[in-house]
Amino acid sequence: MERKEGERMHEVPACCSARYNLALLACFGFFLLYALRVNLSVALVDMVEPNTSLAKNVTSNVCPEHSSTINVPRNTTGEKYSWDADTQGWILGSFFYGYIITQIPGGYLASKIGGKLLLGFGIFGTSVFTLLTPLAANLGVGYLIAVRALEGLGELCIQCGLLGLLHWNAASSLVFHMQLSTQKSVPWRPMLESLPLWAIVVAHFSYNWTFYTLLTLLPTYMNEILRFDAQENGFLSALPYFGCWLCIILSGQIADYLREKQNFSTVCVRKCFTLIGMIGPAVFLVAAGFIGCNYALAVAFVTISTTLGGFCTSGYSINHLDIAPSYAGILLGITNSFATIPGMMGPVIAKNLTHNNTVGEWQMVFYIAASINLFGAIFFALFASGEVQDWAVSRLRNCTECAMETARQTMASYAGVISFQKLLLSPFFSAFDSRRLATYWGRVSYFVMSSQHLLLAGLDNY
């Protein structure tokens, strides 16, 4: 739209704009994603038979059971499974066996068939396999692990589909499609030799170790150690993620304010927020293991630990776009591949360490998570960068030249139809919108954990 000289650019409305509508739909998509992912973590507490060794040895290592004055109706016909701690660990981690396989293929499919179709097939497939979970559990552990792995295959399709929708831009697609053959190949070697990239990999891996440990095992800790019943367990397991959601929104605004108003460098903001989001949770997670049976303080420390982790969404989580905006999707696939490993290993290791479900065993689980968090924070602080890397600059320059040439061709063919100025600037507008949308996605995606646990808390009682 042409503007008169001196007229201010029309600002995007804060409500009912296409960007916010897409962000809202993405929020519901991620709500379904995490609901399908986490439901077994909550349900598993009531699916397995009580730990007989724990029932016979209720000592000072285990908190006394809470006395509830509310008679909650229970499903007495539900089958109980005699799965030991090791088996439970494999079941909880099996989702990520399929999830890690589709990191790169998922992004490729999104670029080929479009985000909308990939998103639809992903949600449909994952929903079907979730419905088959009870049947698979009755058939045997192997079937259940296979079904959960297939759910993981579908869930990354949901993520890639949503990211494909967020990244799509009509003008930039026109520009880059016409000159696609002239673009340079991906600089894999300099990319993989880049320390700033490995700083993100280490930080992402370290953060996810703690995140997935709590995501899959927090209901078990609440039930076996703090001895909350199923109703209390559901709501209290949701509380940390509600705090994380609030922190994500607040930290995003603070990060933007520091960079835009206070002239803080990008690398300074990324490092500071990552340090807060990884060292803070480590401190409070270790502290939670040493407060004994003080239920209120234990829940408070776990909540604070998870809440502070929200700062990382304005730290390492968005750093891909800082160092290589043209390759941000590839970098996310690389870092997320490594960051999926904690989801596979964490529950298995934690369950192997907590055969007797004593406070001392869970302290060791928290020690390991906190140590990995500290290492990741220090590594990121030493080697992270906020500048576009040399191996990514050539791609940006090449894309700009392609855009200029395409603009000239388009002006000759469609004079008066497409504005040269808008077409020429479309790559820059696209990069800006992609960064803003990626930021909105990061801030909004973690919200789904809170809503997921709140819903499951009520459903788990029947």
- For each of the domains in the chain, give its residue range(s) and CATH number, in order of start: 18-56+81-459 (1.20.1250.20)
pLDDT score for 13: 63
pLDDT score for 357: 81
**Number of neighbouring beta carbons within 10 Å of residue 264:** 16
CB of 339 closer than 8 Å to CB of 204: yes
pLDDT score for 49: 76
pLDDT of 216 over the 90 cut: no
Euclidean distance between CA atoms 86 and 349, whole angstroms: 8
pLDDT score for 412: 36
Question: What's the N-to-C CA distance of the chain in angstroms?
Answer: 57
Least confident of 133-147, 222-236, 308-322: 222-236
- pLDDT category, 113, cuts 50, 70, 90? low
pLDDT score for 229: 74
CB of 92 closer than 8 Å to CB of 217: yes
**Number of neighbouring beta carbons within 10 Å of residue 174:** 15
36-72 pLDDT, tens digit per residue, is 887 888 788 778 876 534 444 444 456 776 655 455 5
253-293 pLDDT, tens digit per residue, is 999 999 998 889 999 999 999 999 999 999 999 999 888 77
Tokens of 250: 């607040």
- pLDDT category, 415, cuts 50, 70, 90? very low
Provide the b/e sequence for 320-334 (b: ≥16 CB within 10 Å). Answer: bbbbbbbbbbbbbbb
Euclidean distance between CA atoms 18 and 106, whole angstroms: 25
Euclidean distance between CA atoms 359 and 407, whole angstroms: 66
pLDDT score for 53: 40
Q: What is the DSSP string of 43-104?
A: HHHHHBPP-HHHHH---TTSPPPPPP-S-----TTSPPB---HHHHHHHHHTHHHHHHHTHH
Q: How many CA atoms lie within 13 A of 409 on its CB side?
A: 10
Least confident of 66-80, 138-152, 400-414, 416-430: 416-430
Residue carrying structure tokens 């407060």: 291
Q: What is the mean pLDDT of residues 383-403?
A: 72
More confident residue, 91 or 77: 91
Q: What is the mean pLDDT of residues 18-27?
A: 74
pLDDT of 92 over the 80 cut: yes
More confident residue, 203 or 125: 203
Euclidean distance between CA atoms 284 and 370, whole angstroms: 9
Residue type, 14: A
Provide the b/e sequence for 266-286 (b: ≥16 CB within 10 Å). Answer: bbebbbbbbbbbbbbbbbbbb
The CA dihedral of 328, 329, 330, 333, to the nearest 10 degrees, is 120
CB of 241 closer than 8 Å to CB of 446: yes
Mean pLDDT of the chain: 74
Residue carrying structure tokens 């460098």: 265
Please choose, from the candidates 3, 14, 6, 23, the residue with its C-alpha nearest in 3D space to the C-alpha of residue 422: 3
Give Cα 317 distance to the centre of its chain: 9
- pLDDT category, 374, cuts 50, 70, 90? very high
Euclidean distance between CA atoms 439 and 409, whole angstroms: 34
More confident residue, 119 or 338: 338
The top-scoring range by mean pLDDT among 135-139, 209-213, 268-272, 433-437 is 268-272
Q: What is the mean pLDDT of residues 423-431?
A: 35
pLDDT score for 62: 63
pLDDT score for 34: 77
More confident residue, 166 or 143: 143
Q: How many residues does the chain have?
A: 462
More confident residue, 46 or 342: 342
pLDDT score for 159: 60
pLDDT of 203 over the 70 cut: yes
Q: Which residues, 6 or more positions from 275, have their beta carbon under 8 angstroms from its beta carbon?
A: 315, 377, 380, 381
Tokens of 387: 């500048």
More confident residue, 411 or 204: 204
pLDDT of 192 over the 60 cut: yes
Least confident of 2-11, 160-169, 311-320: 2-11
Q: What is the mean pLDDT of residues 79-108?
A: 80
CB of 118 closer than 8 Å to CB of 160: yes
Q: What is the DSSP string of 137-154?
A: HHH-HHHHHHHHHHHHHH
pLDDT of 440 over the 60 cut: no
**Number of neighbouring beta carbons within 10 Å of residue 433:** 17
Euclidean distance between CA atoms 437 and 283, whole angstroms: 32
Residue type, 441: W
Strands (E), 90-195: none
pLDDT score for 293: 78
More confident residue, 68 or 372: 372
Residue type, 375: F
pLDDT score for 437: 40
SS3 state of residue 183: coil
pLDDT of 240 over the 70 cut: yes
CB of 30 closer than 8 Å to CB of 448: yes
Euclidean distance between CA atoms 462 and 453, whole angstroms: 15
Alpha-carbon torsion 383, 384, 390, 392, what sign?
positive
pLDDT of 450 over the 50 cut: no
pLDDT of 208 over the 90 cut: yes
How many DSSP H helices and E strands does the chain contain? 20, 0
CB of 26 closer than 8 Å to CB of 441: yes
Euclidean distance between CA atoms 462 and 456, whole angstroms: 10
Residue type, 186: V
